[in-house]
Chain A
Amino acid sequence: MEKGIPMLDQAYHILFTASLVVLAIMIILCLIRAIIGPRIADRIVATNMMGTIVMVIIAILAIMLREGYLVDICIIYAMISFLAVIVLTKVYMGVYREKKEEENDGSH
């Protein structure tokens, strides 16, 4: 962001850099949650949160570097993150049902 006022430019730079650092720390916390999450739903929720935070990071970078096309990547990332959640839940539901059916066949 360059407005022609040196102090304002510096302030913007500090704001964006600080936000990026805080968001990066939050992504690491999300990863920890995804690793220690006892159930599969915990991991999917953590993945979803990570996607949201990455979207904010991409948007901040788009404004910071004055590259408007990075926001398109942000939209595409939102769509792919949504798709990932749907696919993961469907796949895990199918895996669970198969396991149940196998157990039922084994018990008979």
Chain B
Amino acid sequence: MEVIEWIRFLFGTLFILCGLLIFLIEMIGVFRFKYVLNRMHAAAMGDTLGIACSLIGLMIISGFSFTSLKLFCVIVFLWFSSPTSSHLIARLEVATDEKREAHYSVINLDDTAAEQEQAGRQKHVAEQEQAGRQAQEKAGRQKHVAEQEQAGEKEEAVPSAME
């Protein structure tokens, strides 16, 4: 019986120390990251995994009782509420940040698609224009050649008339 109690103590200690380690990593992350949206990533870790590990350790120590069920309820509630609150805080940050270019770049997928389409259309128009210009030049050159030939014929014709 004594051995079982010691094994239970060992596993409970393991889980509680794991939870404390995760809280420590959370603190390091919160102080090392440079921006709120990065810090929130570290803070959400303690909300879910840290408290889950600590309370599972306490559940092992407490044994099969009503208290363990209530601790489990706390874990389940936090798993639902932590993503919701993180989402709300992130939305607040994105909506009220006035210098957002300094911290992150926004990719608007619709705008990018429209820009690419426009660029493609411009390229197509440019190609058409170039082709038209080339055709005009070719036609102009042909016209020029024809005029020269005509002039040559006239020049040729003039001496014959003189004779």
Q: Residues on A close to B: CB < 8 A?
A: 1, 3, 5, 8, 11-12, 15, 19, 22-23, 26, 29-30, 33, 37, 39-42, 44-46, 48-49, 52-53, 55-56, 59-60, 62-63, 68, 71-72, 74-75, 78-79, 82, 85-86, 89, 92-93, 96
Q: How far apart sit A82 and B27, CA to CA, in the bound complex (Å)? A: 20
**B-side contacts of A40, CB under 8 Å:** 92, 96
Q: How far apart sit A79 and B6, CA to CA, in the bound complex (Å)? A: 35
B77 pairs with A79, CB closer than 8 A: yes
B85 pairs with A59, CB closer than 8 A: no
B69 nearest CB across to chain A (Å): 9
Q: How far apart sit A93 and B97, CA to CA, in the bound complex (Å)? A: 11
B94 nearest CB across to chain A (Å): 9
A96 pairs with B9, CB closer than 8 A: no
Q: Residues on B close to A: CB < 8 A?
A: 2, 5-6, 9, 12-13, 16, 19-20, 23-24, 26-27, 30-31, 36, 39-40, 43, 46-47, 50-51, 54-55, 58, 61-62, 65-67, 70-71, 73-74, 77-78, 81, 84-85, 88-93, 95-97
Closest to A70 in B: B67
B62 pairs with A78, CB closer than 8 A: no
B43 pairs with A45, CB closer than 8 A: yes
8 Å CB contact of B93 from A30, A41, A78, A85: A41
